[in-house]
A and B are shown apart, each in its own frame.
Chain A
Amino acid sequence: MIYADNAATTKTSRAAIDAMLPCFDTVYGNPSGLYAFAQQAKEALEDARARIARCLGCDAREVTFTSGGSESDNQAILSAAKAGAAKGKKHIISTAFEHHAVLHTLKKLEADGFEVTLLDVHENGIVTPQQVADAIRGDTALVTVMFANNEIGTVQPIRAIGAVCREKGVPFHTDAVQAVGHIPVNVREDNIDYLSLSAHKFHGPRGIGVLVARKGMRLYSLIEGGAQERGKRAGTENLPAILGMAAALEEAVQNMETNAAKVGAMRERLIEGLAEIPHCVLNGDRNERLPGNVNFCFEGIEGESLLLLLDDKGVAASSGSACTSGSLDPSHVLLAIGRPHEIAHGSLRLTLCEENTPAEVERIIDAVREVVAYLRGMSPVWRDLVNGKTPFVIP
């Protein structure tokens, strides 16, 4: 199998597994205990926190462990909203193509009387600092813009957006789930107030993540029941996962340049190879994108059947078609960049990592070409396009 769905999740690295294993049967104390054995676990916990903080360019006290990106997004947004509301500020700025962990939380806040402005992300999938500056009002409680998009991989000008927010005194959250471990992310230098990340996107284990809240930023607990994480997140710490995450993050950060160069080169070849298929379009900016992300729409076919046939050919990928999303509408990300419904249904996301090889990329290109041609051969939509009965949307 060629695994090309690394934006969904990644293989846990050897370093992460090795860091986790002792926690199950050797350092298994509860960090809250007072005896030496428990304190050994506490030390491991705080050591991991410090190492993670170093990787992110923040203070260890600013790191809160959560169950992952979704929880971090929820907690950051709800905390900033509550803090804002206390000062009479009930306006939040975000973008149209955020992850649902952000969008659904914002929907909930709208029902509670908040006003939400979702910025346009343009056809290239990038929001500008100027848009953010123009949208900020006196009652803006929070700006939340993702670092890199999970579907089309576009990287946002986070540092400049953070600078705008800092200047206007508005808290700034970024969902950095797809960015951390893949491209440089530095909480301090990038002017970030709240940051969400998830370990399993960079070869760490699942079910663990971080919420960074810069000193002075309010954090309200979503889960009550204990004093863990300075009372900001109750529940016995998931020490194995935390140690696995620390190991994976350090490894990813250490090898970032090498990996990005290798993965980026494969991405370029993949884009070049797929672009030769007639009537297809790359989704998201050509350059400002994650090293491993490739996302295309192919006119005249539907994404789910494309994925199933690619699976038969040994390629694991994903799509933004309605059939794969479990809803009736195709991906909100593709709609946000202006792709019409019928085009968005025919999308394919391939996300590579450093374990993929150039030979695999060639096999992916061949497989996609064959499957697209085959499905077009049985598509009445394609027939109408080819016969000139309906105009092509993608030239």
Chain B
Amino acid sequence: MALYSEKVMDHFRNPRNVGVIEDADGVGEVGNAKCGDIMKIYLKIGGGVITDVKFETFGCGSAIASSSMATEMIKGKPLADALTLTNKAVTEALDGLPAHKLHCSVLAEEAIKAAVKDYYDRNGIEYDPSQFPDCGSCAHCCV
């Protein structure tokens, strides 16, 4: 059996939405180079809708595929949808990830939430902080 599903390999080989949005409305970065994964998400928001999204990832195949899939799942959607995107949904959309790689989908979820939080912070929009778990809440890392 292959290491990854065909879906994962497709998103890894042909990642969607790779790049940078220079005038992004919200930017989120999670992970740690020491642990081997960093994800950065750029959001363009207009009228409460995610009009564009780009990502940059330093990490393994599943980290790149998770970023790609997660951006696909929120592009063109209302901002509220980004906040309800779960790592489970990302994993399912990828037809699963190996158990020791599930953490990559968590990073994708957290990176998107961090970008939304950045957008809220920039625009003085109030929010419930408990909606935004930070990187430290995850026990994956070696740091």
Contact = CB atoms under 8 A, between A and B. Distances in A.
Interface of A: 300-305, 308-309, 312, 321-323, 326, 328-330, 340-342, 345, 377-383
A300 B33 CA distance: 9
Secondary structure of the B side of the interface? mixed
Greatest chain A CB density within 10 A among B34, B39, B57, B60 is at: B60
Given A308-B12, A328-B142, A380 B56 contact: yes
Given A304-B60, A345-B36, A382-B58, 9 more contacts: A300-B58, A302-B37, A308-B9, A321-B60, A329-B142, A341-B34, A379-B38, A379-B58, A383-B20
17 contacts: A302-B36, A302-B59, A304-B60, A305-B59, A308-B9, A308-B12, A321-B36, A323-B36, A323-B61, A328-B35, A345-B36, A378-B19, A379-B56, A379-B57, A380-B39, A380-B58, A381-B58
A383 B141 contact: no
Interface residues of B, number: 30
A286 B9 CA distance: 36
Contacts of B34: 340-342
Contacts of B101: 323
Contacts of B63: 302, 305
Nearest to A341: B34
Contact of B33 (A304, A305, A329, A381): A381
Nearest to A345: B36
Contact of B56 (A312, A330, A383): A383
Nearest to A381: B58
Contacts of B122: none
Nearest to A382: B58
B13 A345 contact: no
Contacts of B39: 380
A312 B10 CA distance: 12
B140 interface: yes
A303 B63 CA distance: 12
Nearest to B101: A323
Interface in B66-106: 100-101
Contacts of B58: 300-302, 379-382
B40 interface: yes
B12 A305 contact: yes
A342 B38 CA distance: 11
A323 B59 CA distance: 9
A37 B29 CA distance: 71
A393 to B, nearest CB: 10
Contacts of A341: 33-36, 142
A312 B61 CA distance: 12
Nearest to B100: A326
A378 B15 contact: yes
B43 interface: no
A377 B15 CA distance: 12
Contacts of A330: 36
Contacts of B19: 378
5 closest pairs, A vs B, by CB? A304-B60, A342-B33, A323-B60, A380-B40, A380-B56
B36 A378 contact: no
